[in-house]
Homo-oligomer: A and B are copies of this chain.
Amino acid sequence: MGTENSLDHRYRLEEKTNPFLPSISIDCTIFGFHNGILKILLNKFKANSTWMLPGGFVLLDENVNCAAHRLLSERTGLSEIYLKQFYLFGDTLRVNPEENKNILENVGISTPHWLLDRFVSIGYYALVDYSKLKIYSNENEKVEWFQIDEIPQLYGDHNKIIEKAIKSIRSQITTVPIGYELLPEKFTMSDLRIIYETILDRKLDRRNFQRKMLATGYVVKLDEVSKKWGCKSATLFTFDKDKYNYAMKSGMAHNEW
């Protein structure tokens, strides 16, 4: 593999022993919202058919949370991202050793290799503004958004990691800024509701939802309508940033649904 390949450079796969903190990897579930659908960013080696969560390793002199920020920034080009650690995945059989070996050999990495050692993985989730993120594939790597209901069978335990990320957000739905981080500055109430419905995995009453959201004080109705797609116009809303931050800080965000 060429030395100009950013993927190889990041992973330092050419090194014969693990140059990173042993046993530990990071996997990021990156959520974006586009055209009324919640999506997750996945990548894969072009020589392989198996999609995986974007991730990487921790430098020997690097804080783990800093490593996660660095990896995400390398991927997305964004430096200010809402990123949360949510669980450590530490089962011995979280990755099938044979599958792992095949994948490495397909991309031309000779085994044994330190990538075949046991790794526990620290799960992070990120909430990004879809419109601000430019994804780019390179010669060896493909990067794509997948609809949350169309995630394929992923590498190792990565499907389980996504499921746990969603459950983790769900269990703290009143304090995780899902709408605030995922939506553009102006949005429709329907988009905001869809995000909540997707995370909670159930339908919410349209009028009740709008009433509760407006009651928080930090969701504000604008004097504008959306004309996107030429279909029926919809009223636009925005977040009052000061009120939102105050509500989050004081833990008074809103009641449960």
Cβ-defined contact, A92 with B24, below 8 A: no
Contact with B along A203-234 (1 / 0, CB 8 A): 00000000000000000000000000000000
Chain B residues with CB below 8 A from A21, complex form? 23, 118, 120
Cβ-defined contact, B120 with A92, below 8 A: no
Q: Which residue of B lies closest to A117 (CB)?
A: B22
Interface residues on A, range: 20 to 34
Rounded to whole angstroms, the CA-CA distance of A95 and B199 in the bound complex is: 38
- A35 close to chain B: CB less than 8 A: no
- A161 close to chain B: CB less than 8 A: no
The binding surface of chain A is classed by DSSP as loop
Chain B residues with CB below 8 A from A61, complex form? 92
Interface centre among A22, A67, A172 (most CB of B within 10 A): A22
Interface centre among A23, A62, A88, A175 (most CB of B within 10 A): A88
- A246 close to chain B: CB less than 8 A: no
Rounded to whole angstroms, the CA-CA distance of A67 and B64 in the bound complex is: 21
Assembly stoichiometry (copies)? 2
With A23-B21, A24-B23, A85-B87: A120-B64 Cβ-Cβ less than 8 Å? yes
- Chain B nearest CB, measured from A26 CB (Å): 10
Cβ-defined contact, A90 with B58, below 8 A: yes
- Chain B nearest CB, measured from A178 CB (Å): 15
Cβ-defined contact, A62 with B23, below 8 A: no
Cβ-defined contact, B88 with A88, below 8 A: yes
Cβ-defined contact, A90 with B64, below 8 A: yes
Rounded to whole angstroms, the CA-CA distance of A169 and B61 in the bound complex is: 31
Rounded to whole angstroms, the CA-CA distance of A206 and B174 in the bound complex is: 25
Interface centre among A21, A90, A122, A171 (most CB of B within 10 A): A90
Cβ-defined contact, A63 with B87, below 8 A: no
Q: Which residue of B lies closest to A86 (CB)?
A: B87
Contact with B along A73-90 (1 / 0, CB 8 A): 000000000000101101
Cβ-defined contact, B85 with A63, below 8 A: no
Contact with B along A123-145 (1 / 0, CB 8 A): 00000000000000000000000
Chain B residues with CB below 8 A from A172, complex form? 171-172
Q: Which residue of B lies closest to A67 (CB)?
A: B90
A residues lining the B interface (CB < 8 Å): 21-24, 58, 60-65, 67, 85, 87-88, 90-92, 118, 120, 122, 171-172, 174-175, 255-256
Q: Which 9 A-B pairs have the closest CB atoms?
A: A64-B90, A22-B22, A63-B91, A22-B23, A23-B23, A88-B88, A21-B23, A88-B122, A63-B92
